[in-house]
């Protein structure tokens, strides 16, 4: 106790001393040659640790100790300056660009910071202000349209729905193609953990989050995207799909404490649903039927008669349109986001404590995300030799979702809802359930959508810790030893309930699922650096390292079916526990050894080589160690040839070749038996049969030998700066070849097995990435920045396995529209049935008996979800302290199979289906009779016509997903520095923003940028998911 007192009083003394030592205050403003303010510049007193950094308007103020004589001013990409203080109290400092450079310090593999000019591969950096204040809860969403070479697609506008991210296309047949996410050097999980939504399995779940959702966007300082295998080579196998390197905010380096507080509030609305007709209501063939989910009934206003079903027992039935019955199911979502951070210290000793709380209610009833984020981090230096740092991040994310997907889900009922159903009454009066708590809905085998929303939710409660410690030691002036240990671990407790009488699970269900995932990484890195190595101007940096990695996963699920007591959701309320109750545990480990040599000749020629050997627990023993190298070179020709042109300020060429190996998922090497079960969602059986156990051979045959997957990549690129870097171009072309893929190839089911694990196959990705930045206006008060990102990736499956030309992408899909890996095609084409055609005219064939299309031919390509190219353009205008930024995103091509569209058409809800109902319709096509084709002239009713075009898996529901979108728009205002200073604050920033502002999809009558299955290798399927959402909000950020 006394010890503590002593400690506190000495700490107190320290502060006192610190205060007493300050004698006077200076202020100043830092700007560039054009008078544009430079924020974030460092102002240090020479030979001390005291200093500050400039605010957003370039201004700073600093308390000087009496001994201070000189200021050192530095900023990224600009020449450092030393300024004598003398007696001045006010400074106006103009900084100039470093000669002929386009310099930027970025964080690369393993947390190594590098000057971007030396890199022989493509990376792209995003700063905090490009991500924050956009109303995005999910960090990955916030990146959309802002990075070349990256394809980002959200699952939907549902609260917490996952977001898919692929960098430079898909490089692995069956493994995750999501990039590696690294936060402050710690590899973290961005996995999507699915929970079965009743008998439809993961086809009917509630769009679970990708786990990057847990990260607080406010906490992010910068993101560097390592695009190709070369960039990520030192990360090894984990980063074969690229890496997203996230740097969070650190304790201040300005020698002062800082408090940053921000708050924002946004509102969300559903966006992108099809237009509906309001002329016809429930029924079929023009006859009213209150139990019908379709709008093929009589016209509103028709005279009630027994024949049209509107006269029952001599009384007319109430029958009218409810034009907004679909839209009103969706509610206004809200997002409230609050953040507070306290930081302090200087370059050597610093800390940060931050907390964030985000509360979102979704656009669907009973959907929400609540997220708490607490971080503590600190760094210190002992005796000027040993740097020790660490951080602990704690997360708690709660998500409540309702079911998506074809069938009985709320979304499936809502999308194309019959026009004469008054949905609102059910909500307002609570009559979506009967007095006994059962489902109240006139249509059989469906739930009242409110019933589904309120009575059948899936809840997730996740606790997560991401922690790291690192210790670095400068053994000599040229040798540094560093060790970093990082851990990411979370437990996600899920609870899915189905009330008794729910359409999907009429007996009721309570499912409890605990998902545990952890990853531990330890890296020992020894770095040596020598200038003027062997000859003058040749600098060399060498690195050797060792990595130890362990990944654990466990999911334990207890599922109680056939509940006894309504409204009581405990496992002990069940009478059957045979289905779903299961446990799965995996552990995989890896040891890696790596090295890198970087040579730098006169700051214009760089050469680098890396090599890594991994030893994995998951491969066949004889092949468990594998080596892969990379080499890259950079040549800054403007410096080499002393090009001093007004037009070409800076020019760099870069090239690399790299190879990355990947190990297998665990437990692939032995044939196993699993618990027996039969059937699917329409009829099923699961052992045990009473008390009798039943096991069956697993449907996969183990491989004879399992060796690593390899990705080999060739990349060349250039960075060029023009007109004093007012314009710059970053261009890359690449060719990536994936070989020796580890996957379960589909084999003939008549073998008794459906798949066999093999090493085979070849797939290529060829692409172009362009980033063009232009600053058309740059004056003292006005600045305009444009950044355009262009992405084109062409994927092609070259071969699969001898004798196999296609197999389905693992995951859940409906037979008849299966995402498939098919030789000669791009990855993930959706395979189903196509209507046969007249080979000469190409016209579709009509069944002469029915007047509708002939039976489809199976195993044809229905849709290709891969876009032709993606173009994102961000604009930022600054006028004094006012800024306006917006991002356009244009996705050209790619196709989507939309069950939503099918549903609107076949159910007679889509606006077009209300036209010319009374007239006969003829499907375009030809009839084949006696070997001759004749034009179809068979008249069919409108209902038959639209239901033919509205078959769920029909080619008529494949739409071109081309979409132009105003992705986000942000208007920001910084209080002028003079005012802020009077208020004794660093800065105040006020923003209003909107995202997903509007879209134009020329070839689809709905928003085609959806993917019900969310993040993963299955793309281009809208299986009646949540529509997109538009967000509008405002935020306030203050720094003290």
Partner 1 sequence: MKRSLINRYRIIRLAILLLFAGMLLGSCKKYLDVNTSPNAPTVVPPSVLLPTTEIGIAFANGNDLDRATSAIMQQIAGVANQTQGYDVYNFSGAFDNQWNGELYGGSINNCVALIDMDSATSPAYSGIAKLEMAYAFSMLTDVWGDVPYSQAGQGNKYLYPRFDKVQDIYQGNSSLGIQSLFDLVNSGLADLAKPGALKPGKDDIIYGGDLTKWARMGNTLLLKFAIMLTNVNPTMAKSVISGVISGNNFINSNALDFEVPFGTSSSNQNPIYNFNYVNRSGDQMLSSRFLALEQSLNDTLRLARFFTKPNGVFVGFNNGSNAPAPTQATRSQYGTYLIAPAGNPTALGAAPIRLLTNFQVNFILAEAALTLGTPGDPNQLYQAGITTSMQKVGMAASDITAYFAANPTVVTLGGTQQQMLQQIITQKYIAWCGNGIEVFDDYRRTGYPVLALPLNPGGDDPSVIPTRLPYTNGELSTNPNAPNPRPLVDVKLWWAK
Residues of this chain, 941-970, that bind partner 1 according to CB under 8 A: 944, 953
- Picking from 741, 743, 739, the residue whose alpha carbon sits closest to that of residue 755 is 743
CB of 852 to partner 1, least distance (A): 8
The H or E element containing residue 1020 is: none
Task: Answer whether 1039's CB lies under 8 Å from 60's CB.
Answer: no
Residues of this chain, 699-718, that bind partner 1 according to CB under 8 A: 699, 701
Query: SS3 for 946?
Result: helix
CB of 244 to partner 1, least distance (A): 28
Task: Answer whether 813's CB lies under 8 Å from 1023's CB.
Answer: no
Residues of this chain, 630-669, that bind partner 1 according to CB under 8 A: 666-667, 669
Q: Looking at 47, 80, 327, 684, which residue binds partner 1 (CB under 8 A)?
A: 684
CB of 751 to partner 1, least distance (A): 6
Q: Is 756 a binder of partner 1 (CB under 8 A)?
A: yes
Q: Looking at 334, 681, 739, 740, which residue binds partner 1 (CB under 8 A)?
A: 681
Strand partners, 693: none
Among positive and negative, which fits the CA dihedral 67, 70, 75, 77? negative
Q: Is 847 a binder of partner 1 (CB under 8 A)?
A: yes
Q: What is the DSSP string of 986-1018?
A: SEEEEEEEEEEEEEE-TT-SS-----TT-SSS-
Residues whose CB falls within 8 Å of the CB of residue 632, separated by 6 or more in sequence, listed in order? 119, 120, 121, 230, 607, 608, 609, 654, 655, 656, 657, 658
Span near partner 1 by CB under 8 A; candidates 186-194, 462-470, 798-806, 1032-1040: 798-806
CB of 588 to partner 1, least distance (A): 7
Count residues binding partner 1 (CB under 8 A). Answer: 97
Span near partner 1 by CB under 8 A; candidates 207-215, 227-235, 847-855, 963-971: 847-855
Decide whether 509 or 1026 has the Cβ nearer to partner 1.
Answer: 509
Q: Looking at 9, 79, 575, 1003, which residue binds partner 1 (CB under 8 A)?
A: 575
CB of 627 to partner 1, least distance (A): 16
Residues of this chain, 272-291, that bind partner 1 according to CB under 8 A: 284-285, 287, 289, 291
Span near partner 1 by CB under 8 A; candidates 612-620, 626-634, 779-787, 1005-1013: 612-620
- Picking from 732, 871, 735, the residue whose alpha carbon sits closest to that of residue 790 is 871
Residues whose CB falls within 8 Å of the CB of residue 1028, separated by 6 or more in sequence, listed in order? 154, 156, 157, 270, 271, 272, 996, 999, 1007, 1009, 1010
Residues of this chain, 816-845, that bind partner 1 according to CB under 8 A: 816, 832-833
Decide whether 138 or 294 has the Cβ nearer to partner 1.
Answer: 294
Q: Looking at 67, 850, 935, 1003, which residue binds partner 1 (CB under 8 A)?
A: 850
The H or E element containing residue 1023 is: none
Decide whether 473 or 1040 has the Cβ nearer to partner 1.
Answer: 473
Residues of this chain, 503-522, that bind partner 1 according to CB under 8 A: 506-507, 522
CB of 954 to partner 1, least distance (A): 11
Span near partner 1 by CB under 8 A; candidates 73-81, 512-520, 579-587, 877-885: 579-587
Residues of this chain, 136-195, that bind partner 1 according to CB under 8 A: none
How do strand 727-746 and strand 755-778 relate by DSSP bridges? antiparallel
Decide whether 261 or 528 has the Cβ nearer to partner 1.
Answer: 528
Q: Is 683 a binder of partner 1 (CB under 8 A)?
A: yes
- Picking from 621, 623, 627, the residue whose alpha carbon sits closest to that of residue 592 is 627
Task: Answer whether 122's CB lies under 8 Å from 228's CB.
Answer: yes
Q: Is 311 a binder of partner 1 (CB under 8 A)?
A: no
Q: Which residue has the tokens 């019955």?
A: 325
Q: Is 561 a binder of partner 1 (CB under 8 A)?
A: yes
Q: Looking at 26, 112, 520, 562, which residue binds partner 1 (CB under 8 A)?
A: 562
Q: Looking at 354, 618, 638, 795, which residue binds partner 1 (CB under 8 A)?
A: 618
Q: Is 434 a binder of partner 1 (CB under 8 A)?
A: no
Task: Answer whether 398's CB lies under 8 Å from 887's CB.
Answer: no
Q: What are the residue ranges of helices labelled H in 808-897?
A: none
**Cα–Cα distance, 630 to 645 (Å, whole number):** 34
Q: Looking at 153, 856, 970, 1011, which residue binds partner 1 (CB under 8 A)?
A: 856
Would you give the DSSP letter of residue 503?
S
How do strand 22-32 and strand 90-95 relate by DSSP bridges? parallel
Q: Looking at 520, 591, 653, 1034, which residue binds partner 1 (CB under 8 A)?
A: 591
Task: Answer whether 67's CB lies under 8 Å from 82's CB.
Answer: no
Q: Looking at 77, 595, 629, 676, which residue binds partner 1 (CB under 8 A)?
A: 676
Decide whether 819 or 832 has the Cβ nearer to partner 1.
Answer: 832
Binding mask 858-897 for partner 1 (x = CB under 8 A): xx--------------------------------------
Cα distances (angstroms) measured from residue 434 to each of 125, 296, 413, 448, 567: 56, 28, 19, 11, 13
Q: Which residue has the tokens 């993963």?
A: 1016
Q: Strands of 59-65's sheet, edge to edge?
A: 59-65, 22-32, 90-95
Rounded-to-10 torsion of CA 296, 300, 301, 306? 30
Decide whether 360 or 820 has the Cβ nearer to partner 1.
Answer: 820
Q: Is 686 a binder of partner 1 (CB under 8 A)?
A: yes
Decide whether 409 or 970 has the Cβ nearer to partner 1.
Answer: 409
Task: Answer whether 880's CB lies under 8 Å from 781's CB.
Answer: yes
Span near partner 1 by CB under 8 A; candidates 209-217, 252-260, 336-344, 856-864: 856-864
Q: Is 672 a binder of partner 1 (CB under 8 A)?
A: yes
The H or E element containing residue 92 is: strand 90-95
The token duo for 475 is 């053994």
Q: Is 698 a binder of partner 1 (CB under 8 A)?
A: yes
Please state whether 602 falls in left (phi above 0), alpha (psi between -120 and 50) or beta: left
**Cα–Cα distance, 120 to 133 (Å, whole number):** 33
Decide whether 16 or 696 has the Cβ nearer to partner 1.
Answer: 696
Q: Is 480 a binder of partner 1 (CB under 8 A)?
A: no
CB of 923 to partner 1, least distance (A): 14
Q: Looking at 65, 316, 430, 748, which residue binds partner 1 (CB under 8 A)?
A: 748
Give backbone dihedrals phi and psi of 236, rounded to 5 degrees, phi first.
75, -150
Span near partner 1 by CB under 8 A; candidates 210-218, 242-250, 720-728, 801-809: 801-809
Q: Which residue has the tokens 């309001």?
A: 278
CB of 137 to partner 1, least distance (A): 34
- Picking from 876, 1031, 877, 887, the residue whose alpha carbon sits closest to that of residue 964 is 887
Query: SS3 for 327?
Result: helix
Q: Is 626 a binder of partner 1 (CB under 8 A)?
A: no
CB of 992 to partner 1, least distance (A): 49
Task: Answer whether 735's CB lies under 8 Å from 764's CB.
Answer: yes
Q: Is 199 a binder of partner 1 (CB under 8 A)?
A: yes
Q: Looking at 301, 444, 842, 1002, which residue binds partner 1 (CB under 8 A)?
A: 444
Span near partner 1 by CB under 8 A; candidates 18-26, 138-146, 206-214, 849-857: 849-857
Q: Looking at 746, 767, 885, 1020, which residue binds partner 1 (CB under 8 A)?
A: 746
Residues of this chain, 106-125, that bind partner 1 according to CB under 8 A: none
The token duo for 150 is 């990256």
CB of 959 to partner 1, least distance (A): 21
Decide whether 531 or 584 has the Cβ nearer to partner 1.
Answer: 584
Q: Is 298 a binder of partner 1 (CB under 8 A)?
A: no
Task: Answer whether 555's CB lies under 8 Å from 583's CB.
Answer: yes
The H or E element containing residue 929 is: strand 926-929
Q: Which residue has the tokens 């405990």?
A: 570
């Amino acid at each position: 106790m006394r010890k503590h007192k002593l400690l506190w009083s000495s700490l107190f003394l320290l502060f006192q001393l610190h205060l007493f030592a300050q004698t006077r205050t200076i202020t100043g403003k830092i700007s560039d040659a054009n008078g544009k303010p430079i924020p974030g510049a460092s102002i240090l007193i020479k030979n001390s640790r005291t200093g500050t950094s400039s605010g957003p308007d370039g201004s700073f103020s600093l308390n000087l100790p009496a001994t201070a004589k000189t200021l050192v001013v530095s900023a990224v990409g600009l020449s450092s300056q030393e300024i004598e203080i003398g007696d001045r109290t006010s400074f106006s400092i103009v900084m100039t660009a470093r000669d002929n450079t386009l310099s930027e310090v970025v964080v690369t593999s393993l947390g190594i910071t590098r000057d971007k000019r030396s890199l022989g591969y493509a990376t792209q950096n995003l700063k905090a202000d490009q991500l924050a204040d956009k109303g995005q809860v999910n960090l990955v969403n916030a990146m959309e349209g802002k990075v070349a070479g990256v394809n980002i697609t959200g699952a939907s506008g549902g609260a917490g729905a996952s977001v898919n991210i692929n960098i430079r296309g898909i490089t692995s047949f069956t493994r995750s193609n999501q990039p590696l996410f690294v936060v402050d050097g710690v590899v973290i999980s961005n996995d999507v953990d699915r929970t079965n939504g009743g008998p439809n399995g993961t086809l009917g779940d509630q769009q679970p989050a990708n786990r990057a959702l847990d990260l607080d966007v406010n906490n992010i300082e910068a993101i560097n995207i390592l695009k190709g295998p070369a960039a990520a080579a030192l990360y090894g196998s984990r980063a074969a799909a690229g890496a997203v390197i996230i740097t969070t905010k650190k304790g201040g380096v300005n020698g002062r404490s800082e408090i940053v507080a921000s708050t924002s509030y946004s509102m969300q609305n559903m966006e992108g649903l099809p237009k509906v007709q309001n002329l016809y209501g429930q029924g079929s063939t023009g006859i009213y039927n209150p139990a019908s989910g379709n709008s093929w009934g009589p016209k509103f206003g028709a005279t009630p008669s027994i024949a049209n079903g509107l006269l029952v027992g001599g009384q007319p039935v109430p029958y009218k349109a409810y034009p907004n019955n679909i839209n009103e199911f969706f509610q206004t979502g809200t997002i409230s986001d609050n953040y507070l951070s306290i930081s302090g210290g200087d370059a050597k000793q610093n800390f940060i404590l931050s907390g964030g709380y985000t509360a979102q209610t979704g656009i669907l009833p009973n959907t929400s995300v609540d997220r708490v984020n607490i971080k503590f981090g600190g760094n210190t230096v002992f005796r000027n030799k040993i740097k020790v740092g660490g951080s602990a991040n704690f997360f708690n994310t709660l998500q409540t979702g309702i079911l998506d997907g074809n069938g009985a889900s709320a979304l499936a009922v809502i999308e194309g809802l019959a026009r004469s159903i008054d949905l609102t009454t059910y909500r307002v009066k609570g009559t979506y359930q009967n007095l006994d708590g059962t489902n109240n809905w006139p249509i059989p085998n469906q739930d009242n959508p409110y019933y589904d929303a309120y009575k059948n939710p899936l809840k997730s409660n996740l606790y997560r810790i991401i922690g790291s410690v690192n210790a670095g030691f400068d053994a000599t002036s040229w040798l540094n030893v560093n060790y970093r240990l990082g851990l990411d671990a979370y437990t996600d407790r899920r609870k899915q309930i189905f009330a008794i009488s729910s359409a999907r699970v009429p007996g009721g269900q309570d499912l409890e699922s605990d998902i545990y995932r952890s990853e531990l990484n330890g890296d020992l890195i020894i770095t040596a650096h020598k200038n003027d190595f062997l000859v003058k101007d040749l600098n060399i940096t060498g690195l050797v390292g060792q990595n130890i990695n362990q990944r654990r996963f466990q999911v334990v699920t207890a599922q109680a079916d056939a509940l006894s007591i309504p409204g009581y959701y405990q496992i002990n309320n069940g009478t059957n526990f045979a289905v779903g109750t299961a446990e799965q545990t995996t552990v995989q480990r890896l040891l890696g050894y790596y090295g890198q040599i970087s040579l730098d000749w006169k700051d214009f020629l760089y050469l680098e080589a890396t090599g890594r050997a991994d030893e994995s627990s998951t491969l066949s023993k004889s092949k468990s160690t594998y080596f892969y190298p990379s080499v890259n070179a950079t040549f800054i020709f403007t410096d080499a040839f002393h090009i001093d042109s007004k037009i070409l300020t800076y020019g760099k060429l870069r090239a690399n070749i790299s190879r990355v190996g990947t190990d297998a998922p665990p437990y692939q090497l032995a044939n196993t038996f699993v618990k027996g079960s039969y059937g699917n969602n329409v009829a099923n059986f699961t052992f045990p049969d009473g008390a009798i156990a039943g096991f069956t051979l697993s449907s996969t045959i183990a491989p004879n030998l399992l060796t690593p997957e390899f990705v080999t990549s060739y990349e060349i690129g250039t960075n060029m700066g023009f007109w004093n870097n007012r314009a710059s171009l970053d261009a890359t072309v690449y060719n990536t070849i994936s070989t020796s893929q580890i996957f379960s190839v589909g084999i003939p089911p008549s073998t008794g097995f459906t798949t066999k694990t093999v090493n085979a196959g070849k797939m290529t990705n060829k692409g172009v990435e362009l980033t063009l930045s232009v600053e058309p206006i740059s004056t003292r008060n006005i600045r305009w920045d444009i950044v355009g990102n262009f992405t084109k990736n062409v994927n092609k499956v070259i071969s699969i396995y001898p004798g196999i030309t296609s197999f389905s992408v693992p995951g859940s899909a409906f037979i008849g529209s299966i995402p498939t890996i098919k030789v000669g095609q791009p990855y993930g084409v959706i395979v189903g049935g196509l209507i046969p055609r007249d080979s000469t005219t190409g016209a579709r064939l009509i069944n002469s008996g029915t007047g509708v299309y002939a039976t489809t031919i199976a195993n044809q390509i229905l849709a290709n979800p891969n876009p032709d190219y993606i173009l994102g353009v961000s604009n930022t205008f600054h006028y004094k302290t006012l800024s306006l930024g917006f991002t356009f995103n244009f996705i050209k091509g790619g196709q989507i199979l939309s069950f939503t569209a099918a549903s609107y058409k076949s159910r007679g809800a889509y606006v077009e289906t209300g036209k010319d109902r009374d007239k006969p319709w003829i499907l375009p096509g030809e009839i084949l009779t006696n070997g001759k084709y004749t034009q179809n002239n068979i008249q069919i009713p409108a209902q038959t016509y639209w239901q033919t075009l509205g078959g769920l898996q029909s080619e008529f529901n494949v739409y071109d997903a081309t979409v132009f979108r105003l992705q986000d728009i942000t208007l920001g205002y910084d209080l002028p520095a003079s005012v802020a200073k009077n208020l004794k604050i660093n800065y105040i920033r006020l923003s209003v923003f909107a995202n997903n502002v509007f879209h134009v999809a020329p070839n689809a009558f709905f928003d085609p940028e959806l993917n019900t299955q969310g993040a993963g290798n299955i793309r281009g399927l809208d299986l009646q998911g949540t529509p997109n959402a538009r967000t509008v909000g405002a935020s306030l950020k203050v720094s003290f």
